[in-house]
Structure 1
Amino acid sequence: MVEIIEKKRNGGRLTREELAFWIEGVMDGGVPDYQTSALLMAIYFRGLDMEEITDLTGEMAASGDQVDLSMVPGIPVDKHSTGGVGDTTTLIAGPLVAACGGRVVKMSGRGLGHTGGTIDKLEAIPGMRTGLTIDQFIAQVSRIGLAVAGQSAQLAPADKILYALRDVTATTDSLGLIASSIMSKKLASGAKAIVLDVKVGSGAFMKELDDAIALAQAMVKIGQGHGRSTRALLTNMDQPLGRAVGNAIEVAEGIEVLQGKHAESDLRKVSLMLAENMLLAAGVYPDAQSCKRALDEALASGRALEKLGEMIAAQGGDARVIQRPERLGQGACRLDVKSASGGYVSAIDTQRIGHAALLLGAGRRKKEDAIDPMAGLLMRARLGQKLAPGETLATLFASDEALLAPAQAALLSAVTLRESPAQVPPLCYGWVDESGFHPTK
């Protein structure tokens, strides 16, 4: 192990065998944490080339359970977001794709910090069960074309060990380690097609477009290198994607989109983009136009909404919420946050918006923290919008009135108003496939 650390420290490239030796030692305790920390720091400074990243990802994916989806008809497709605020696309794109004949296999995590987790959102539905066994997961996808479940503790367990060490050694911000962390879980989940939503902006892990493109290209190459049809969209996170930020409140908004509401919303537009790419990656339709027509019909006919209801019922939840999303409820304590002055909304610190939701009880600072599914906020202000003095920026919901004031302060500090209009960034910057980055025209 000392030789491997020294080799990377001096700028050498690690072989598949050396990476396998390291990960095996991480798993069986043969490599102590201090040596892994040293290698992580060497990787942070020296980087990994694409072959090293692909090999490392494969070894991490093989460190635990690997889901075999060969029994699922067609090409099972997965969708992954790098993390955002008000991002409820899984609950919209998944049913849309399943309603069009796709097979959607989604193993999701819980929220931590300012970003929400799909599993937390689903568990805001009364009775909803997310702890499916692999056999239950496969049977449900085969039967109704859609399952969203929590990740097994034995899915890429080496990543959990490495991530914990990266977090305390200031080595999280390494492109190769980020890409391998995300993709090891995607490979272990078993999907044959993967669509990535790489967020860019103030509420995203990647704040700059160039960094996001590099990450997207690395992850697409990993997927392709392991025989998975992989593509990535680069979407904006300089404001919450949907107007709702929380758990129950986000599920309600996602249901409303499937009901045909919010026709011009960014949430609906990005969900349809992702669904189109999922259908293409899985080979359900031969071209983009065919995908668009099928998705429009699935949305207009109500079949996508019905598919969400099928999934909720299959996982023990109250499927009546698809007709009456108000059954999900909201925090009993409410506060409208008013603008002190007028002007155009020129910037929204989306990470602070996520933090405001966390202060209301909708998020976690530590993994073991409990969340309040009824807590959250509804954004009224959007980038480029002109506001009058005293106009509502957002409405806050909490179960404890004492939580409203700190969240209000966080929200007020997140929104910047100016006298003149500011340029609104594009919703989608482009996409990445095996041939590279293609900017949106």
Structure 2
Amino acid sequence: MSNAFDAIDVIRAKRDGVPLSAGQIRWVVDAYTRGVVPDEQMSALLMAIFFRGMSGDELAAWTQAMIDSGERKDLSSLGRPTADKHSTGGVGDKITLPLAPLVAACGVAVPQLSGRGLGHTGGTLDKLEAVPGWRADVHEEAYLRQLREVGAVICAAGNDLAPADKLLYALRDVTGTVESIPLIASSIMSKKIAEGADALVLDVKTGSGAFMKSAEDARTLARTMVGLGEAAGVRTVALVTAMDRPLGRAAGNAVEVAESVEVLAGGGPADVVELTLALAREMLAGAGRDDVDPADALADGRAMDVWRAMIAAQGGDPDAPLPSPAETHVVTAPATGTLTRLDAFSLGVAAWRLGAGRARKEDPVSAAAGVVWRAGVGEQVTAGQPLLELQTDDAARIPRALEALEGAVGVDTGEQPLPLILDRITA
């Protein structure tokens, strides 16, 4: 690519509110990925974007430039439609685990490239690594073979997928430019579009345990991402969903795998089942298979069969017992009445402090650590009954986890929980 542009001109233009051309954007993303534009200049540009925002045209060009920094996978050889899902992250959000095999059981292949957790939100790969023997790394040939034979794969993304995003993400993290809707949207969508699925369903969380605390911000992000997906030729829909309270009855790694298996066995918490089915129906509709009811595949065991095959294909033993904690600590209900508050953020921080999450990307996580709760928001509790169970490998972690839970539980406070699904956003 020619050096027809200059990084300082691009920075100044964005700083002063002048729209960037597609050529400028393509050049700067490519030059940064190749190491021609240094971190300090890209940091300045990111900060200018943070304050000035991006127009729809700029954002589409920026996202496409990030996709073009690597390769876009071609899944046309699978001979069946493909659909993918992305969640913006939350507490107890194990939905990918039952969802991928469920959708695959309905005839749509699911190429799910997932990530690890950071801070109070759990990572899908960390959860699955609680299964003895399971491996997150699947090389290209095995990836396509597993999609053909099993129908679903959940694995780590290779370095060939939107490499610009990996570099920009690390830079945003250390320059205070993470909370920018255009930068969040382009980061998520460049990776998801590069995965090559025909259809994409976004689960955009809102509430205390979510990245987007306000429903309006969540809707703005959802609309932005749906627009980017559609512009790139991927059928895209978003659900805005509740994360003021955690999902299900467990937050952690092994505990969330156990809960996912319950859902696949036809049981599990009502909210996890409801959201799994809602997202499955959207994925199937996007892939042209809305003639299939995913509830049938949960009821008759087909989804469980795919789960077992998917785990085994990646070296895991679906029958092996999951790791259990060395230490537990019970927190009782503070009063008798209706549980009106179970704060998602507080529970996520508690699980993280117990060892289920990491503070830095390179930290190890404990498979057995987490929090389990005996009642959900809207249910009756009795003063003194066991409400939360903290699980950890190291008893010394319990006091800090308890600190995180101060004020997290409320009985009869008059608070109204968000509906599980707040909104559905299409192009």
| Match status 1:128 vs 2:134 | yes
> Residue deviations 1:183-202, cap 9 Å, x none?
01111212121111000111
Superposed, which structure 2 residues align to 1:29-428 within 5 Å? 29-262=35-268, 265-285=270-290, 290-291=291-292, 294-320=293-319, 327-418=321-412, 421-428=414-421
* Distance in 2 separating the partners of 1:346 and 1:261: 24
Per-residue deviation at 1:350? 1.1
Per-residue deviation at 1:229? 0.9
* Distance in 1 separating the partners of 2:381 and 2:309: 41
Report the counterpart of residue 324 of structure 1 in structure 2.
none
Aligned amino acid, residue 47 of structure 2? M
Partner-residue secondary structure (3-state), 1:393: strand
* Distance in 1 separating the partners of 2:349 and 2:71: 34
Per-residue deviation at 1:257? 0.8
| Match status 1:432 vs 2:425 | yes
> Residue deviations 1:114-172, cap 9 Å, x none?
01111111111111122001221111101121111111133212112212221222211
Report the counterpart of residue 4 of structure 2 in structure 1.
none
Partner-residue secondary structure (3-state), 1:328: coil
Partner-residue secondary structure (3-state), 1:194: strand
Aligned amino acid, residue 316 of structure 1? G
Say whether the 8 Å CA contact 1:192–1:229 is kept in structure 2: yes
Say whether the 8 Å CA contact 2:246–2:343 is kept in structure 1: no
Partner-residue secondary structure (3-state), 1:112: coil
Any gaps of 5 or more consecutive residues in structure 2? 1-6
Say whether the 8 Å CA contact 1:244–1:379 is kept in structure 2: yes
> Residue deviations 1:34-64, cap 9 Å, x none?
1111111111111101111111111111112
> Residue deviations 1:178-222, cap 9 Å, x none?
100100111121212111100011100011111111101111110
Q: TM-score, normalising length from structure 1?
A: 0.92
Partner-residue secondary structure (3-state), 1:78: strand
* Distance in 2 separating the partners of 1:235 and 1:123: 26
Partner-residue secondary structure (3-state), 2:359: coil
Say whether the 8 Å CA contact 1:376–1:397 is kept in structure 2: yes
Per-residue deviation at 1:421? 4.0
Partner-residue secondary structure (3-state), 2:237: strand
> Residue deviations 1:273-303, cap 9 Å, x none?
0111010111123xxxx34xx2121111111
* Distance in 1 separating the partners of 2:224 and 2:343: 27
Q: TM-score, normalising length from structure 2?
A: 0.95
Say whether the 8 Å CA contact 2:91–2:121 is kept in structure 1: yes
Any gaps of 5 or more consecutive residues in structure 1? 322-326, 435-441
Partner-residue secondary structure (3-state), 2:76: coil
Name which of 13, 19, 29 aligns with 1:13: 19
Say whether the 8 Å CA contact 2:130–2:323 is kept in structure 1: no
* Distance in 2 separating the partners of 1:34 and 1:397: 43
> Residue deviations 1:250-269, cap 9 Å, x none?
0000000111113x610111
Aligned amino acid, residue 119 of structure 1? L
* Distance in 1 separating the partners of 2:35 and 2:106: 47
Say whether the 8 Å CA contact 1:345–1:421 is kept in structure 2: no
